[in-house]
Structure 1
Amino acid sequence: MAAYPELKLCIAGEWRGRSGQPVYNPFDDGVIGELPHATRQDLDDALEAAEAGHRAWRRTAPAKRAQIMQRAAQLLRERADTIAEAITLEQGKPLGQAKIEVLRACDIIDWDAEEGRRAYGRVIPSEPGMRHIVLREPIGIVAGFSPWNFPISSPTRKVAGALAAGCAIILKASEETPAGAYFLVQAFIDAGVPKGALSLLFGVPGEISEYLIPQPGIRLVTFTGSVPVGKKLASLAGAYMKPAIMELGGHAPVIVCGDVDPVSTAATSALGKSRNAGQVCVSPTRFFVDDAIHDRFASAFGEKAAGVKIGNGLAADTQMGPLANPRRVEAMERLIADAVSRGAKVLAGGARVGNQGNLFPLTVLSDVPDDALAMQEEPFGPLALISRTQSIGQAIEKANSLPFGLAAYAFTNSAPNVEALSDGVEVGNLSINHLTASIAETPFGGVKDSGYGREGGSEGLACYTVTKNVSHLVAAA
């Protein structure tokens, strides 16, 4: 078996903590590691260290900050194979996808590092003898909370954004998939980030968030995860007048217009749906297909999905790994059973594979009624739901019918359709003729129940800064 790291907390640049909580391999349920939990003293130590770390880091020249961050990215690239194996062991995704995730994290760090050098202010023209200057300053210590589905790229968004802006950050990463964050923080410490500017904690999530967020030193909360938890943390942050970045759940619609090739579009869609076994907040899920090509699209999608090989993520021929935990298997079984009871047809998959681990095939359902639970709840798994539509207007209406608004996709060769989609679909990220929701250079985030604030792009970096206006009356000569 590939090596798995000895996990620790990182506080004030030092690794600490006794092992405790087991970490499981979702392919075979085996224990691969143990994880320490932070004590109240650990939390207080991290807060104290962050105060000193923030003072040192914000006074570090932006060019020097960028140099340190880019060194961390280089270390991650050098360690990518080791990190990818650990991610596959703890989360299940195929090794190739895990390595792509590591390299994506490096791209995020590099881009944020350079963008941090361009946090420009401005000078406002004014009357003689007066100067109005607008500054963008680091907001302060950040409390960051990252999820289990992308063990390194998700925490990287928060760490890179905070550090690029000149902020210290206390990262509480996932207890189910901790190795990605462990390696991330290790690279930054090795690259020379000041002690305390970056801390890593694990523990009981609710206890840590409820203690950290009210602390006076915490100036920003950034969270990626479910809508219910996000609303709870946003309420807590609001009670203490803390701004927040909330990247919450989605239920991404895919509008397939009648002017595209149904077979090639279905193949692209099946590949996109299989990514990380559908455990992605922007995973394409609700397919609204023009009636003229619906049957060919559905048939081709089912055929392509049935051929996706699932298994151990470390195996070279595995195209889709197991689900990350038993909760996801139970959710798939519940949603599929409900949809079938309401008349949906199973075109591929539909039942778990074996009784060990969390293997579940890419599943495709057609003729899914709007009142099926799967059409209302985010499946967060390998479940594609195909429905007929009679017009692009109807498809847009269905796409907007849920309280989610994170990502959406569409396939069309028509300029008027692109215009209608761009104007009508209510999301933070719309991708047309491809299934990539964001890259390092672009802002990522949602609307409605999918959250607010942005990660990535210049807009994301701005969330880690505050605007200060300085007006200077020049003394008369």
Structure 2
Amino acid sequence: MSYEELALLIDGRWTQGTSGKTETVVNPSTNEALGELPLASIADLDEALEASQKGFDVWRKTPAIQRQMIMEKTARLLEERMDVIAANLTREMGKPLKEARMELGAAIDVLRWYGEEGKRVYGRVVPSRITGMRQTVKKEPIGPVIAFVAWNFPAINVMRKVAGAIGAGCSITIKASEETPGTCIAIGRAFMDAGLPAGVLNIVFGDPATISSHLCASDIPRKLSFTGSVPIGKHLQKLAADKMMRCTMELGGHAPVLVFSDADIDAAVRNCVAGKYRNAGQVCVSPTRFLVQEAVYDKFATAFRDQASKLVVGDGLAEKTDMGPLIAERRIEVMENFMADALSNGSNLLTGGERLSNSGSFFAPTVLGDVTDDALIMNEEPFGPIAPISRFSTLDEAIERANRLPFGLAAYAFTKNAKTAAALSSEIQSGMLAINSLMVASAETPFGGIKDSGYGSEGSIEGMETFLTTRFVTEVY
């Protein structure tokens, strides 16, 4: 099975661009080259911007039912191509094939949801104070969109932007990650094969700073959507401000997990181990700080260690693999720095803590015990397979420690006490909170954070709203 043919999508054409420059895409399980990705020139970006304006002029006038039909055809093409796309997602990202298939399935779900919801973008009539006057509120597509996404979920990160924009009647130019381009390109091919008009979707790659600054400086885009780190998100927001461009920012997190003494510990451990090591911990909503009440700390930590140590680490294409590699070599050093700092601050290594192979970017599923809040890993998003566990005494202490960081994307808790659950739902500062599970994302629910984790939502009616503008019209008759 061959890797995806890499190209730019500009104005309905697949092209190698005009820069003559390429970047090698590497399989993180083997460090072997998968292909050469063409990088866009400034001229290519300008062509994409002009195409997005022309595409928007066509697409916004296309009836919503016709837009939905093209999106549904795209979904079916993606389902037909699932095996090939999922395998290539695993090759470029590293995650186990079963996770790649689940991610692609979720992306298709998002596509279908936005396609259907686009048929239900309603305005309203407001009763007038004056006889003979009609007052209407209209919801209309905001205009051409630009989007930038991270590498960790090559299908779902892309689809949340693309399906939301296209479902609302907008065009979109997206720069996916140069480390995981094949999945985005495969999604683009499905859209084009389904009959999407030229210019409605443009896909570019290249130097992130060059592309973002050039696209943001243009008068054509009216909306920017970004998934990635907090520093980059703040930088893009500043660029967008010069053009009064609306933004949606889905930024990093550092999700606390509060485990109370009355919780079902076996269920909590089972959920937390699965969630922590999914995609090797490279998940913005990954559970990252495990705060466990003293009475059940030893039971939780021991069971967590035992389950984590049994995970099979290897090439994501291998049938028995539970956890794949980190995205690249650079992330190994980051994990080693977190480890050295935690151990120097008195943490206990319960399992893992080391690189596993020199032939890929593999790091062992790691569990640290009695980690203090002074440790780096309790303050900076680890984005890797290290689980720090710490003790707490009271509910008030747990809430205070959960809220002490500037992040506010996701948070989790395990308790059977309804009063405790009610207090958490009121006091935990996060855009999403799951109690007795780790479920915080589906096509029909809003996904987004607060504080430094960004603003705006993806998914649900809130996600559609971010691609719409509101107009008020009065008419005397």
Instruction: Give the equivalent residue in structure 2 for 1:156.
Output: 159
The letter of the residue matching 1:37 is: L
| 1:37 equivalenced with 2:39 (yes/no) | yes
Q: How many Å apart are 1:392 and its aligned residue? A: 1.8
For residues 46 and 344 of structure 2, the distance between their equivalents in structure 1, rounded to whole angstroms, comes to 52
| 1:3 equivalenced with 2:5 (yes/no) | no
Q: How many Å apart are 1:19 and its aligned residue? A: 6.9
Q: How many Å apart are 1:263 and its aligned residue? A: 2.9
Deviations 1:245-264 (A, max 9, x none): 00000001011111112233
Q: Of the candidates 379, 402, 413, which is equivalent to residue 405 of structure 2?
A: 402
- SS in structure 1 opposite 2:404? coil
Deviations 1:124-155 (A, max 9, x none): 01132111100000000000101100011101
For residues 305 and 99 of structure 1, the distance between their equivalents in structure 2, rounded to whole angstroms, comes to 23
The letter of the residue matching 1:150 is: F
For residues 262 and 36 of structure 1, the distance between their equivalents in structure 2, rounded to whole angstroms, comes to 50
Is the CA contact 1:6–1:34 (under 8 Å) kept in the aligned structure 2?
no
The letter of the residue matching 2:3 is: Y
- SS in structure 1 opposite 2:287? coil
For residues 152 and 74 of structure 1, the distance between their equivalents in structure 2, rounded to whole angstroms, comes to 15
- SS in structure 1 opposite 2:244? coil
Identity, % of aligned positions: 51
Q: Of the candidates 376, 380, 387, which is equivalent to residue 377 of structure 1?
A: 380
Q: Of the candidates 394, 398, 418, which is equivalent to residue 421 of structure 2?
A: 418
Instruction: Give the equivalent residue in structure 2 for 1:85.
Output: 87
Q: How many Å apart are 1:267 and its aligned residue? A: 2.1
- SS in structure 2 opposite 1:285? strand
Deviations 1:383-435 (A, max 9, x none): 11111111122111111000000001111111111110100000111111111
Q: How many Å apart are 1:436 and its aligned residue? A: 1.9
For residues 308 and 370 of structure 2, the distance between their equivalents in structure 1, rounded to whole angstroms, comes to 17
| 1:320 equivalenced with 2:319 (yes/no) | no
| 1:139 equivalenced with 2:142 (yes/no) | yes
Size of the aligned set, in residue pairs, is 473
Instruction: Give the equivalent residue in structure 2 for 1:232.
Output: 235
| 1:117 equivalenced with 2:119 (yes/no) | yes
Is the CA contact 2:23–2:39 (under 8 Å) kept in the aligned structure 1?
yes
Q: How many Å apart are 1:356 and its aligned residue? A: 2.0
The letter of the residue matching 1:73 is: A
Instruction: Give the equivalent residue in structure 2 for 1:108.
Output: 110
Instruction: Give the equivalent residue in structure 1 for 2:309.
Output: 306
Instruction: Give the equivalent residue in structure 2 for 1:72.
Output: 74
Is the CA contact 1:19–1:34 (under 8 Å) kept in the aligned structure 2?
no
The letter of the residue matching 1:367 is: D
Q: How many Å apart are 1:460 and its aligned residue? A: 0.6
Deviations 1:31-54 (A, max 9, x none): 011100001111111111111100
Deviations 1:267-312 (A, max 9, x none): 2211111100000000001011111101100000001000011001
Is the CA contact 1:20–1:37 (under 8 Å) kept in the aligned structure 2?
yes
Instruction: Give the equivalent residue in structure 2 for 1:329.
Output: 332
Deviations 1:30-87 (A, max 9, x none): 0011100001111111111111100110000001101111111111011011001101
Is the CA contact 1:7–1:19 (under 8 Å) kept in the aligned structure 2?
no
With normalisation by structure 1, the TM-score equals 0.98
Q: How many Å apart are 1:238 and its aligned residue? A: 1.1
Deviations 1:136-189 (A, max 9, x none): 000000001011000111010000000011000001110000011001111111
Instruction: Give the equivalent residue in structure 1 for 2:195.
Output: 192
Is the CA contact 1:252–1:406 (under 8 Å) kept in the aligned structure 2?
yes
Instruction: Give the equivalent residue in structure 2 for 1:439.
Output: 442
Instruction: Give the equivalent residue in structure 1 for 2:13.
Output: 14
Instruction: Give the equivalent residue in structure 1 for 2:471.
Output: 468
Is the CA contact 2:126–2:136 (under 8 Å) kept in the aligned structure 1?
yes
Instruction: Give the equivalent residue in structure 2 for 1:451.
Output: 454
For residues 110 and 78 of structure 1, the distance between their equivalents in structure 2, rounded to whole angstroms, comes to 15
The letter of the residue matching 2:7 is: K
Instruction: Give the equivalent residue in structure 2 for 1:281.
Output: 284
With normalisation by structure 2, the TM-score equals 0.98
- SS in structure 2 opposite 1:233? helix
Instruction: Give the equivalent residue in structure 2 for 1:94.
Output: 96
The letter of the residue matching 2:341 is: D
